[in-house]
Structure 1
């Protein structure tokens, strides 16, 4: 595992829970998408102790995706991530319907965040769903507007902020933070505890959930009491949509058992099944 100390406490927020995690992500990264079930489980088990701050850090791979050769490389990488993680994503869309402007999606996320942290998180998840589940082109302005609407954003404010210099500067600030903290790949997580004199721990790459859980417990002075996981129905009520593999990983059960439990919810008309790309998702029925 690649992990190292980060010593500059100036990045540590004073408005935090006992542990703050800086999560550097690229909305177009399949590895960041594959991290989703681990982040969900961290939040569910350690929510009283953990605050997650998203920092956008677009990789050179996705920023330089205009050539056919580069798009083929990204497509191959997506398919490899899908094979390793089980999270559905289909690299073929980079050949049939490639994202043309990776910057636009990042600017849109920053515009959404201007309506609040939770609004920004909802919008980020929404564009990831459009990309990986619906196989939509998130460099399309209309797709981004649909995501904003689904995320319950103020559309007029969102459109104004997307076209303002403020959202662009906010994205540039994220890129600067990533550079100064020597974040060269996504996903990368940097863990800080509430003692600003302590060193942070930086972990780059995608690892089993237990690695992140161990770091959380290591950085908290007292061994935290984990939250009991909610029911799968409550999980979907909170996160709205999830892949079968996400449910399996969060609840430490087999994919077969997860699918059985999800089908039971479907028969009771609590969720609906969504086939997408090379995987299955389940959407909570409001």
Structure 2
């Protein structure tokens, strides 16, 4: 069975296309695939969003505000997942789609609107998004990213290809042909996966 991790910035609009790409591949693939979208937050992800939105990267106030928004969006995504993986993904992607289409800001109004659209229990969601459980789940996601040497978004990591205990990561998921990678369209040497693109990272599980 394949394991696919897509590391995303919950407010990064370019992650939306990568998420759609992964879901399309899984829907069409005859293989059994375990997958999850993993929210991440670091200096690089904040900087990328500031550049994407044409914000002054030297403005510490804006940087801190954006960092807080990304963190809260990640907690909200985790809270939505508590009501089911499909609803959680629907919540995340609906938020991103609004940000892409309307260039809106991440606000309580948008959160409530999307929560209603994807049929979340608002009372439960309101409690969960501020819970220790959501925060701990987010911390675990950051540990996963660190263990897999992921620093950029959207990064896709594919594990256990052909049953080998190693994985390969691609720092720009939007440029990856997932079907070719999963079909073994790369060289294998010394029991480890080797890829042609030097930017791709190899790690042992």
Structure 1 length-normalised TM: 0.55
Instruction: Provide the C-alpha distance between the structure 2 equivalents of 1:194 and 1:61, rounded to a whole number of angstroms.
Output: 29
Q: Over the residues paired in the alignment, what is the CA RMSD in angstroms?
A: 2.7
Contact 1:56 1:174 in 2 (8 A): yes
CA distance in 2, matches of 1:184, 1:64: 12
Quote the Cα distance in structure 2 between the aligned partners of 1:33 and 1:50. 20
Deviations 1:14-52 (A, max 9, x none): xxxx21101111122233123244223312321643232
Aligned counterparts, 1:135-284, within 5 A: 135-138=103-106, 140-193=107-160, 197-208=164-175, 211-218=177-184
Residue 186 of structure 1 and its aligned partner are, at CA, apart by 0.9
- Aligned residues of 2:4 and 2:36 also touching (Cα < 8 A): yes
Q: C-alpha distance in 2, partners of 1:36/1:53? A: 10
Equivalents in 2 of 1:76, 1:137: separation in Å? 14
What secondary structure, in the 3-state scheme, does the structure 2 residue paired with 1:21 have?
strand
Q: Is the CA contact 1:105–1:144 (under 8 Å) kept in the aligned structure 2?
A: no
Alignment equivalent of 1:130, drawn from 86, 98, 107: 98
Partner deviation per Cα, 1:88-126 (whole Å, 9 max, x = no partner): xxxxxxx9xx85622111110011111121121111111
Number of residue pairs aligned between Structure 1 and Structure 2: 176
Say whether the 8 Å CA contact 2:3–2:160 is kept in structure 1.
Answer: yes
Structure 1 runs of 4+ with >4 Å offset: 194-197
- Structure number, greater radius of gyration: 1
Q: Give the gaps of 5 or more residues in structure 1.
A: 1-17, 78-94, 220-286
Moved more, 141-150 or 188-197: 188-197
SS in 2 for 1:105: helix
Equivalents in 2 of 1:64, 1:200: separation in Å? 27
- 3-state DSSP of counterpart to 1:170: helix
Gaps of 5+ in 2: 56-61, 186-205
TM-score by length of structure 2 reads: 0.74
